[in-house]
A and B are shown apart, each in its own frame.
Chain A
């Protein structure tokens, strides 16, 4: 069975500071990894994904994530946070041998001015 853990329910950072939202995963095969963001009363929006190749992937709005196979992690990062980055972030994994995606419980990011 595949699973995703987002160990922090809440992350608070000051505007202009770097941010990290953590994600670890477990799959039986090779993983496809995704990050999504959700604003209030909206559906999820895709940010970035890791499929294969370079471990550092870049996505929308200046976000990036690093795939670490040995630590089974896929942490989301941004060098300089904006107040508008405040939202709920979800990490998701899909086993290349399975169809469905499994989502983490989400991390609420709050960026304060």
Chain B
């Protein structure tokens, strides 16, 4: 079974630009969650999608948005990039059942210059 695939793996953007990150979950998984990981802030929850609907949302500004498609693939978008958005963005999928663990992708390393 293929794992969670995130693309691209690395990205360099300039302040003010926007970026779209992609996540393909494990086949059959309907829930996709996004996290931001930085050395100073740890792992911060961005949002979770389940069957194309945003089910939970973290405390991030509106510049951060996401969506999920009918095939469960998900994208997250960050507009008007700031230097502080530089981070490892992790996507996690699970079947959507509460007591199941998450399966993480390798992440997208975003650097904003």
Give residues in A with beta carbon < 8 Å to B. Answer: 32, 34, 36, 41-46, 49, 51, 90, 94, 96, 98-106
- Give the one of B4, B35, B92, B102 with max A CB within 10 A: B102
| B102–A96 CB distance below 8 A | no
Counted as pairs of residues, one from A and one from B, with CB atoms less than 8 Å apart, the total is 59
In order of increasing CB-CB distance, the 9 nearest A-B pairs are A43-B104, A105-B42, A100-B56, A103-B43, A46-B101, A44-B104, A51-B99, A99-B56, A43-B106
Known: A51-B99, A94-B98. A101 touches B45 (CB 8 A): yes
A106 to B44, CA, bound (A): 12
Residue of A nearest to B57 (CB): A100
Q: Which of B33, B43, B101, B109 contacts A34 (CB 8 A)?
A: B101
Q: Which residues of A contact B103 (CB under 8 A)?
A: 46
> Number of residues in B with C-beta < 8 Å to the partner?
24
| B55–A101 CB distance below 8 A | no
| B43–A90 CB distance below 8 A | yes
A45 to B105, CA, bound (A): 9
Residue of A nearest to B42 (CB): A105
| B43–A106 CB distance below 8 A | yes
Residue of A nearest to B96 (CB): A99
B48 to chain A, nearest CB (A): 6
Q: Which residues of B contact A106 (CB under 8 A)?
A: 42-43
| B102–A101 CB distance below 8 A | yes
A110 to chain B, nearest CB (A): 17
Q: Which residues of B contact A32 (CB under 8 A)?
A: 98-99
Residue of B nearest to A52 (CB): B99
B25 CB–A CB distance under 8 Å: no
